[in-house]
Amino acid sequence: MAEERAQPTAKRLCSRPFPASRSSQKPAPTGRTHQPESLLDASAKMVAEKWPFQQVEERFSRIPEPVQRRIVYWSFPRNEREICMYSSFNYYSPEETAAAAAAGGAAVPGDDENRLPFRRGIKLLESGCVENVLQVGFHLSGTVTEPGTQSEPEMIYRVAISFDRCKITSVTCGCGNKDIFYCAHVVALSLYRIRKADQVKLRLPISETLFQMNRDQLQKFIQYLITAHHTEVLPTAQKLADEILSSNSEINQVHGAPDPTAGASIDDENCWHLDEEQVREQVKQFLSQGGYYGSGKQLNSMFAKVREMLKMRDSNGARMLTLITEQFMADPRLSLWRQQGTGMTDKCRQLWDELGALWVCIVLNPHCKPDEKVSWLRQLKKWNDMDVCPLEDGNYGNELPNITNALPQSSNQNQESLARPRRTVFTRAMEACDLHWQDSHLQRIISSDFYASPSYQRESESLLFNTHGQPLWLEHVPTACARVDALRSHGYPKEALRLAVAIINTLRLQQQRQLEIYKHQKKELLHRGVTTITNLEGWVGHPLDPIGCLFVTLTEACRLEDESCMDTADTSSDLKPATYQHVAVSGYLDSNESYLTLAMEVALMGMGQQRVMPEGLYAQDKVCRNEEQIIFKLQELELDEMLVQVLRKQSVILLEGGPFSGLGEVIHRESVPMHTFAKYLFSALLPHDADLAYKLALRAMRLPVLESTSHAGDVSHPHHIVSVVPSRYPRWFTLGHLESQQCELASTMLTAAKGDMLRLRTVLEAIRKNIHSSSLIFKLAQDAFKIATPADIPPDITLLNVALELGLQVMRMTLSTLNWRRREMVRWLVTCATEVGVRALVSILQSWYTLFTPTEATSIVAATVTSHNTILRLNLDYTQREELASCARTLALQCAMKDPQNCALSALTLCEKDHIAFETAYQIVIDAASTGMTYSQLFTIARYMEHRGYPLRAFKLASLAMTHLNLAYNQDTHPAINDVLWACALSHSLGKNELAAIIPLVVKSVQCATVLSDILRRCTMTAPGLAGIPGRRNSGKLMSTDKAPLRQLLDATIGAYINTTHSRLTHISPRHYGEFIEFLSKARETFLMAQDGHIQFAQFIDNLKQIYKGKKKLMMLVRERFG
């Protein structure tokens, strides 16, 4: 704490002396329950807590010293929780812990680290480190010894505390700690005074002691005081002496003198000490970290501290929130985001939401003073009018109704709402300033458990009571719930419960009337197949979180507390989940009603409400997040018979609820989907009422925003959203999340229906009808397959068939669209079909054209089905193997006909064992060779043919490939060179005729001199016809380059060298001269293979010298090498 820096000077002037009675009576021992409290102590307690001491002095002319001592004694704080509140972050209730976890927050709050000063203070106290404790009037002092460590020596700190009316008003500690909260030393001294009050030396205010001294004693006192502290107080003492001796000094114009131990004056504000500067600095520091390093967690802890102060009815709650808000509004990122037109981060938005909600709580304090509310409204308007003030719902601030408006709105009002001014995070708090608590009906609701209408009026309709005489509260639901939150937050839990019950009774009555209205309209609505949304704003995802507020308020009354947060034992960072018990609703005779059943009921009502999806990314994300938070809380409730009855009853109502229910028969196209909610209902109801569970879940599977468009194809990628929802702006930004939740619901049903073919079929139909994303259906298929094939038991064939059917649907959906997971999907489908059995494999082979591309069918499907592993896996007999092979061959030929370029080789491979099929596949290749196939594809098939022992067919295919090839003079690294060399080698091995046939094709297709010379060299090294084709005679003689066909190849090679040389010389650089000379050397070798080659080469060199005589250096090198 900052001063913990400097203790303020005296609070008031004391001139009237204390009574002269000098009784040394010690305070009576306290805390003994077997002794009745004395009247003196009882009255002194009340006076010490409510009255400033100056008022006591002025009210009574003479106060006996024993009375003064008891007032001073009881003026120190008595509740350790208050000390804890100012020396640690908040103690989190299990509900708040659950909410934090559901929101995906940081580490669960409430661990030792969060309350370190308080814990350390307790340890210091229990270790006997607090000494020299003295209370002089309203001032407590002492020393606290900080034990030494290996790195630091033992330290003794002087601590001083001033207090007034059971509140600590200032603290000073020698440790110089800079923090919002009290340091451990202040905690230790405070707890010493609370726990060991009878061991503290108690003295009356120092002014009373001074009054008892004569002049000599006073002089001696002052001189001894100065001597003891002369280096610190001597200048101040001399200054005061000079002023007192001067008759005209200001000090002599004031009656009396200040006394820092005499307590507060009437005009002093009575509040706990809070270092405002440190609050500002820490909030500023946390904001500057931009949500990193746990700053979001720290800011949430500060908000929790504000709520804790409000619950303790501490005025510092509003004061601290004001300081926090000022720093939030001064955040430089606000103007930056506004200038750049970018939205703030999600974590930052949540912090602003909590800030706005806290201000609503502050201004709705039922006992705040009018001037306080005026002051708050002025400050809120100031912040609201700033340009950088964040809007309530992100980029869109105009679509939500005013806090004081009821839900039904006329069409004119809807049109007028378009012109409504912007709504900021403070708008609701400003609107709440217009609300009051003076309504007599409201006052009666919150003040009594037994407020009811007279029995003779219960048969007639009433706006104030239902037919059972229970009070209703007809107000805009989020506003009414904000009142509940305010009562609960300000420490009025009973009043909050009473109002919450009245609101739920009102919601019940509205639900009943909506059902009656729907019964009269049901036939017409179902015939038209459309509906309208009557709820302009949803309760789930609402800025005021009405459902969450009611739920927490009701469950808090039922929570079983294991231990207090004030225990001294170390706490575990893993808080145990909350446990609840049924607590009967006060004033109710119905034994089946408890606060827990009401909490369950209102949560189901709120989440089952049909409501329009709000606009804007943040608002839509908030709907999803709030729904998950409520479900997280619901899952903490252990379902007993009473809660299951509520679950059943509400589920039936929601199914029959028509346009008022998100689970009604017909819903609006833009209604918020119910998948997440239905998943909870399904899991909760399944053990108790399976039929109802499936009926609910199947009803909730729909996603109208996608169903109502004619868009076909895969919508698994974000770019499809634009075309799926063409009439919406802004779009459904959370559509991907909603579809994944739909998938989760379907997966949950599939898992539960394992082994029940009828239910599985029903779920499968719902999936086919409602899920539009191939990726999600594939995920469902994988999930079903995984569940159906556990490692240690036989597979469940019913679920396996469902997985296969889902996989087949995915294949059909993605057949004509691009999907990067397509190859994975195809492989998985074959695996799944293999698990189902041989009939499934035959089926996908026979209907391949509706499921796969020709390439997939041959290279993946057929190849895998006919593999050795598949045969072993299925333990197939000969007949089954032949059936699969026959289907695979048929598929291969069909694919080769449809896509010979990509499937021919695979088709040949699959047909190897059947002569007729193989010949057919070969003929398909030959027919396609002249049209669509590339030289690389043909060379690949040719090599395959040679490998299979068909050299003449390989030669034919290689010749066809050569007709498609064109190798330029400078492409000496072309990937097809190896294929050309292989083709020529094949032709040479077959004989002179084949070589004679291929060489004209080579001469026509290849202009690269080095490649041609390589071919020529290879052909002259061995005699042709070494392959030994049956029926042919091999002469065994080497071929001459002077005769055909090598003469044609030699001429082409020499011509290629001449052309290449001229081409290279047109743009040659000196650094390539050496390489060029080597190139000419290779050319000479080729020239010399001709009879007159040396003459041709000499003429060629002379020609070069004449044409390129300008390149003197190069020509000099040519002369040196070639003459």
Name residue 157's beta-bridge partners: 144
Residue 762 pLDDT > 60, yes or no?
yes
8 Å CB contact between 442 and 474: no
- What pLDDT does 571 receive? 38
Please give the C-alpha separations between residue 496 and each of 97, 922, 1106, in angstroms, as whole numbers. 21, 86, 110
106: pLDDT strictly greater than 70: no
Higher pLDDT, 1 or 697: 697
Q: Which of the four pLDDT bands, split at 50, 70 and 90, describes residue 46?
A: confident
How many helices (H) and strands (E) in the chain?
50, 9
Neighbours of 416 (CB within 10 A): 11
- Model confidence at 1018, in pLDDT bands (50, 70, 90)? confident
Q: Are 443 and 373 in contact (CB under 8 A)?
A: no
Assign 784 a pLDDT band (cuts: 50, 70, 90): very high
Pairwise CA distance, residues 885 & 866, whole Å: 6
Q: What percent of the chain stands above pLDDT 90? A: 34
Average pLDDT over residues 594-601: 94
User: What is the mean pLDDT of the segment spanning 320-325?
Assistant: 90
Tell whether the model's pLDDT for residue 1021 goes beyond 60.
yes
User: What length is written for the chain?
Assistant: 1123
pLDDT computed for residue 291 by the predictor: 58
Of the candidates 189, 492, 465, the residue with the CA atom closest to the CA atom of residue 361: 492
The whole-angstrom separation of Cα 745 and Cα 541 is: 21
Average pLDDT, integer, range 589-615? 89
CA dihedral of 879, 885, 886, 892, whole degrees rounded to 10: 170
For 989, the token pair is: 């091995």
Question: Per residue in 348-379, pLDDT tens?
Answer: 888 888 999 999 999 999 988 888 899 999 99
Q: What is the pLDDT of residues 149-158, one digit of tens each?
A: 788 888 888 8
Q: Give the per-residue SS3 of 315-346.
A: CHHHHHHHHHHHHHHCCHHHHHHHHHCCCCCH
Q: What is the pLDDT of residue 725?
A: 39
At 768, the pLDDT band (50, 70, 90 cuts) reads very high
Q: Which of 29-43, 622-636, 1010-1024 has the lowest mean pLDDT?
A: 29-43
Give residue-wise pLDDT tens across range 836-868. 999 999 999 999 999 999 999 999 999 999 999
Q: What is the pLDDT of residue 730?
A: 42
Query: For residue 67, what are its two tokens?
Result: 């009375």
Residue-wise pLDDT for 501-519, tens only, equals: 999 999 999 888 888 888 7
Q: Which of 174-178, 409-413, 546-550, 618-622 has the highest mean pLDDT?
A: 546-550
- Nearest to 599, CA basis, from 561, 643, 644: 643
Coil vs helix vs strand at 95: helix
Which DSSP letter does residue 571 get? P
Residue 766, pLDDT > 90, answer yes
Q: What is the pLDDT of residue 726?
A: 40
Residue 53 reports pLDDT greater than 80: no
Residue 219's alpha-carbon distances to 136, 213, 232, 241, 1024, in angstroms, are 21, 9, 19, 12, 136
Residue 13 is predicted with a pLDDT of 55
Measured in degrees and rounded to the nearest 5, phi and psi for residue 369 equal -80, 150
| Residue 646 CA from chain centroid, whole number | 32
pLDDT digits (tens, 9 = 90+) for 398-452: 344 444 443 333 334 444 444 456 889 999 999 999 999 999 999 999 998 888 8
Out of 104-113, 376-385, 699-708, least confident range: 104-113
Per-residue pLDDT for 713 more than 50?
Answer: no
Give the integer Cα–Cα distance in Å for 903 and 909.
10
164 close to 52: Cβ distance less than 8 angstroms: yes
pLDDT higher than 80, residue 28: no
**170 strand-pairing partners:** 162
Residue 943: pLDDT band with limits 50, 70, 90? very high
**pLDDT value of residue 1050:** 86
pLDDT digits (tens, 9 = 90+) for 650-668: 999 999 887 788 998 888 8
CA separation for the pair 975, 996 (Å, rounded): 24
Strongest mean pLDDT among 10-19, 133-142, 402-411, 860-869: 860-869
Specify the DSSP element, H or E, that contains 1122.
helix 1112-1122
- The answer to whether 303 and 100 are in contact (CB under 8 A) is no
Which residue spans within 640-717 are E strands per DSSP? none
Q: Look at residue 954 in the predicted model and tell me its pLDDT.
A: 93
C-alpha 856/C-alpha 853 separation (Å) is 5
Please report which confidence band the pLDDT of residue 970 belongs to, taking 50, 70 and 90 as the band edges: confident
Lowest average pLDDT, out of 873-882, 919-928, 964-973, goes to 964-973
Rounded distance between C-alpha atoms, residue 863 and residue 847, angstroms? 16
Instruction: Give the mean pLDDT of the chain.
Output: 81
Could you tell me which residues are beta bridge partners of residue 162? 139, 170
pLDDT of 572 above 60 = no
As a whole number of angstroms, the distance between CA 844 and CA 851 comes to: 8
Q: How far apart are CA 481 and CA 475, in angstroms?
A: 9
Is 63 or 579 the better-scoring residue by pLDDT?
579
pLDDT score, position 461: 57
Task: Give the burial string for 718-727 (b: 16+ CB within 10 Å, else e).
Answer: eebbeebbee
**pLDDT higher than threshold 70 for residue 6:** no
pLDDT of residue 548: 94
Percent of the chain clearing pLDDT 70 (strictly above): 83
Cα-Cα-Cα-Cα torsion 293, 297, 301, 302, nearest 10 degrees, comes to: 60
